[in-house]
Structure 1
Amino acid sequence: MKQLTFENYQKQTSFTELCGHRIAHWQSLNFNKDENKDVILFIHGFPSAAWDWHFQWKHLAGQYRLLSVDLLGFGLSDKPTKHQYSLLEQADIVQALLRKKGVKQYHILAHDYGDSVAQELLSRQDDIHSAAQILSICFLNGGLFASHHRPLFTQKLLKGRLGGLASHFMNKANLARGFNKIFAANSQPNTHEIDTLWQLIEHNNGKKVLPKLLSYIDERNQHGKRWVQSMVSTVVPLYFINGVHDPISGQHMLDHYIDIIPNAKTTALDVGHYPQLEAPQDVLNLYRDFLTEVIE
């Protein structure tokens, strides 16, 4: 499978001032032409970027209008060092991008940190009548329920008092070791994936902001009850594709999702924390089938 290079990812980028920050985003070539086609918004996880979706993007681009974004502090977007990062602000940025693009209705495909942004957007669905309406949400592995999220030791270290020091000494070898733990044994990350993800983290001096981005763990505890209530009560179709060998949010998160969400639609995959990279074709096929059901 040919993967998108960091250089080509940069070349395809657009930048827009959103909520006071320079935010990197992408749209499919047909975005402004085929207004009769449904819009899909991709929301990435921590600590990576919209690059994660390159395989699914390539194969969905002809059938749908696609939009993705590097959230504040990630990828090619601004990474202010003296900033209090918040999932709520990330949701504001997403909504600002949707308004700028004139999107009235859209589907969400989200992963990890992006799951929490999607949950916040869903909770706002009935509160902000002028906002674009969510047509469906597909979650990949992430901390949908704060009580069942199991952060790695590295994440705990970065989030703690020594976070600044830990981030200073973080390097590509550390990243590789961490990703080897969260990918399944039979779907380990390749050199190109680690190299690209490391370039995305380092870009704009991004290592410095990693500790501050990890405030999302506290926000999940703070807003989790409201988010889960929205998921339980919503009429928006929800789907959870879960890599069950993920130590952070694998089988245990899937089991709890099935217990909590009425008529839960789920699929278990024999991979780890990054299904879109570990089993890209499976995720593409499953998501296409889900969209077909929702749209019909």
Structure 2
Amino acid sequence: MEPLTPALQRWQDQGRYTTVQGQRLFVAEAGQGDSTLLLVHGYPTSSYDWHGVWNALAARYHVIAPDLLGMGFSDKPQGHAYRLQDHADLLDALLAQRGVQRCHIVAHDLGVSVAQEMLARRIEQPQAGCRIASLVLLNGGVCPEAYAPRPIQHLLSSPLGRWVGPHIPRRAFERTVAGLFGPRTQPPDGLLDDFWALLNHGQGRRISHQLGRFYIERMALRDRLVAPLVAQAVPVRLINGSADPNSGAHMARRYREVVPHADVVALDGIGHWPQIEAPMAMLQALHGFVQSIGTPAQDGATATISR
């Protein structure tokens, strides 16, 4: 097992573990603000993706950032399906366990699709769980048809994935990750060490092929995931690093085509991780949007999403 870096050890020390539906999840939680933010990270990292904006968010909001099952410090069962619905089930159960009645979801990468699934089920059943006040979506497959997976994702999702996953060379992993950053905002010193350690923690590479198939599942669920955004079921802001080859300017362009009057904040020159590459710009875009939504006291914590 890859040893934890000092930065990851500090992140682990400030969080805690909780059992949700029989699975042990790592959860970082801080802040006492009126509004709750659920931060949903992407593949293949963890809640650590939010470390650069964590203190600033906790100063204003109550923030909850779990490691999705199969990633980071959470359990990594080999036999699990790791479907978008499974991730959403666990997050809904976690929010219920915490007694959260209303939250804003801030999601990145895989987390974007999980957040869309959580919203879709509330359209079907308005009383399904915690009320979603808004979505703040960072780079991810908002419109699955516009997503451009990297070659390693195709390989992991192929019949060879079961063998390739546990044998991914570190150099190939780092090259792929660095290629997702903007040309002038490459990973800072130590970040690739952190990401590699997260991937390997709990023998994570042995299930990387199972987790990585989400982009194929997402295509099959495309209409279900996109429909609530088109219907403007809740306020949504897309904060988009334009230089991301996976889901950058081309994703924002497609989103504007699909959703009339889409709220998009484009960060020129920024790649796949706006919260790491341009934390101040990301925070400014997030704060202005969330503050415009109002607080539970203003709109009623038990209100439901309209159809």
Unaligned runs of 5+ in 2: 296-307
CA-to-aligned-CA distance 1:25-57 (integer Å, 9 cap, x gap): 121053xxx6xx110000000111110111222
Cross-structure match for 1:236: 234
Cross-structure match for 2:148: 150
Is residue 70 from structure 1 mapped to residue 46 from structure 2 by the alignment?
A: no
1:214 Cα shift? Answer: 1.6
Cross-structure match for 1:82: 79
Cross-structure match for 2:290: 291
* Counterpart secondary structure, 1:126: helix
Is residue 50 from structure 1 mapped to residue 39 from structure 2 by the alignment?
A: no
Q: What's the TM-score, normalizing by structure 1?
A: 0.94
**Letter matched to residue 282 of structure 1:** A
What is the distance in 2 between the residues matched to 1:291 and 1:240?
12
Cross-structure match for 1:15: 17
Is residue 245 from structure 1 mapped to residue 247 from structure 2 by the alignment?
A: no
* Contact 2:133 2:234 survives alignment (8 Å): yes
Indicate the percent of aligned positions where both proteins have the same amino acid. Answer: 35
1:145 Cα shift? Answer: 1.4
CA-to-aligned-CA distance 1:264-295 (integer Å, 9 cap, x gap): 11011121111111111110111111112222
Q: Where do 4+ consecutive residues of structure 1 move more than 4 Å?
A: none
Cross-structure match for 2:281: 282
Cross-structure match for 1:25: 27
Is residue 273 from structure 1 mapped to residue 275 from structure 2 by the alignment?
A: no
Cross-structure match for 2:298: none
* Counterpart secondary structure, 1:268: strand
* Contact 1:172 1:195 survives alignment (8 Å): no
* Contact 1:168 1:208 survives alignment (8 Å): yes
Q: What's the TM-score, normalizing by structure 2?
A: 0.91
RMSD over aligned CA atoms reads 1.5
**Letter matched to residue 74 of structure 2:** S
Cross-structure match for 2:7: 5
What is the distance in 2 between the residues matched to 1:258 and 1:169?
39
What is the distance in 2 between the residues matched to 1:232 and 1:90?
23
Cross-structure match for 1:108: 105
What is the distance in 2 between the residues matched to 1:151 and 1:6?
27
How many residue pairs were aligned?
289
**Letter matched to residue 86 of structure 2:** E
1:130 Cα shift? Answer: 4.3
Q: Which moved more, 1:148-157 or 1:216-225?
A: 216-225
